């Protein structure tokens, strides 16, 4: 991808004028067994945007996200957070970039939900009463205040996901990375997670990086979609551009969102060239009506 095609620059400013919070500069990571996790990865996150990483299993999405908050270190290349090399601020980078794992059970360990969400602030030296208030605020924000006294082991999958997000949100990071946030959830909790992601960005200015197999969700909520294939980003841009890029999707072995598939089949049946690029249901209905 040429520099003119990317949605961000490495000078510290995005095309929309916002700051670049994270910049991954040609990073590679090779696991001890020789497996290449990411290769010449170039990626950035701007303030106040939602970025979807769309790729197949093993494409490098999770590996990339674990580099963004210092859990992993690149074998080559660099990762910058808030303009500073991640290698220099490794002990504090998690204050700026929070990570919600695909499996909430990997994050929840305390006897009660409130204790779990309080853990981060207390670990930072915050007094228990102040930490308790911060944890309650985070739980209220994600719509899980009623779970404060419950044991995490007995929560539903959707409830665990909300609590895991609260445990990251309580640290007030600039960026929250979520690995498959709607995986294995029912429709009700998928919608709650989507609404929460949008609320965190719109009302609280949090930037979000979402690794997902769910093209329909990415089309609905993402400002920018990055197709990840074999450890690199092979295409990126607004959902309306990326999900109509048949060559890039085919190369990565990915399918477009259902709305895109329906619209293209509709145009084929009518024998017309697609004149628009709808990615949401409302956009589809308007395009068909016109």
- Distance between CA atoms of residues 276 and 284, nearest Å: 9
Q: Provide, rounded to the nearest whole percent, the portion of the chain with pLDDT above 70.
A: 94
Residue 275 lies in a domain: yes
- Is pTM, for the whole model, over 0.85? yes
In a domain, 184, yes or no: no
Q: How far apart are CA 285 and CA 250, in angstroms?
A: 26
Instruction: Tell me whether residue 59 is in a domain.
Output: no
Total structural domains in the chain?
A: 1
Query: For residue 131, is it within any domain?
Result: no
Asked if the structure places residue 278 within a domain, the reply is: yes
Q: Given the DSSP bridges, would you call strands 20-30 and 36-46 parallel, antiparallel or unpaired? A: antiparallel
Instruction: Write down the pLDDT at residue 105.
Output: 85
In a domain, 265, yes or no: yes
Distances (CA, A) of 244 to 169, 227, 275: 34, 12, 12
| Full residue range of the structural domain in which residue 271 is found | 257-290
Residue 9 binned pLDDT confidence (cut-offs 50, 70, 90): very low
What tokens appear for 199 in the block? 């609320």
pLDDT of residue 194: 94
Measured distance CA(217)–CA(275) in Å, rounded: 23
Does residue 153 have a pLDDT over 50? Answer: yes
CA distance linking residue 120 with residue 130, whole number of Å:
12
Residue 271 lies in a domain: yes
Q: What is the pLDDT of residues 81-131, one digit of tens each?
A: 999 998 888 778 888 999 999 888 888 888 899 999 999 888 888 889 999
Task: Name the average pLDDT for the chain.
Answer: 90
Q: What is the pLDDT of residues 204-232, one digit of tens each?
A: 999 999 999 999 999 999 999 999 999 99
Work out the average pLDDT over 235-249: 96
pLDDT of residue 12: 58
Q: Does residue 8 belong to any structural domain of this protein?
A: no
């Amino acid at each position: 991808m040429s520099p003119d095609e990317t949605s961000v620059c490495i000078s510290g400013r995005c095309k929309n004028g916002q700051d670049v919070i994270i910049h991954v500069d040609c990073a590679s990571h090779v696991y001890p067994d020789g497996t290449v996790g990411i290769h010449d990865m170039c990626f950035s996150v701007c303030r106040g945007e939602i970025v979807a990483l769309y790729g197949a299993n093993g494409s490098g999405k999770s590996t990339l996200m674990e580099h963004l908050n210092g859990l992993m270190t690149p074998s080559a290349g660099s990762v910058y957070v808030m303009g500073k090399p991640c290698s220099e601020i490794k002990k504090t980078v998690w204050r700026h970039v929070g990570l919600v794992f695909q499996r909430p059970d990997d994050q929840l360990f305390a006897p009660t939900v409130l204790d779990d969400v309080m853990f981060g602030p207390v670990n930072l030296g915050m007094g228990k009463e102040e930490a308790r208030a911060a944890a309650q605020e985070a739980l209220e924000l994600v719509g899980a205040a009623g779970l404060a006294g419950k044991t995490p082991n007995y929560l539903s999958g959707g409830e665990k996901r909300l609590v895991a997000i609260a445990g990251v949100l309580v640290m007030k990071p600039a960026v929250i990375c979520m690995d498959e946030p709607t995986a294995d959830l029912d429709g009700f909790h998928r919608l709650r997670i989507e609404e929460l992601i949008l609320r965190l960005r719109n009302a609280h200015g949090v930037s979000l990086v979402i690794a997902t197999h769910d093209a329909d969700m990415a089309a609905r909520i993402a400002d920018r979609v990055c197709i990840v294939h074999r450890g690199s980003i092979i295409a990126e841009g607004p959902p309306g551009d990326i999900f109509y890029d048949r060559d890039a999707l085919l190369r990565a072995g990915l399918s477009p969102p259902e709305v895109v598939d329906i619209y293209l089949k509709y145009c084929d049946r009518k024998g017309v060239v697609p004149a628009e690029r709808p990615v949401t249901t409302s956009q589809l209905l308007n395009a068909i009506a016109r």
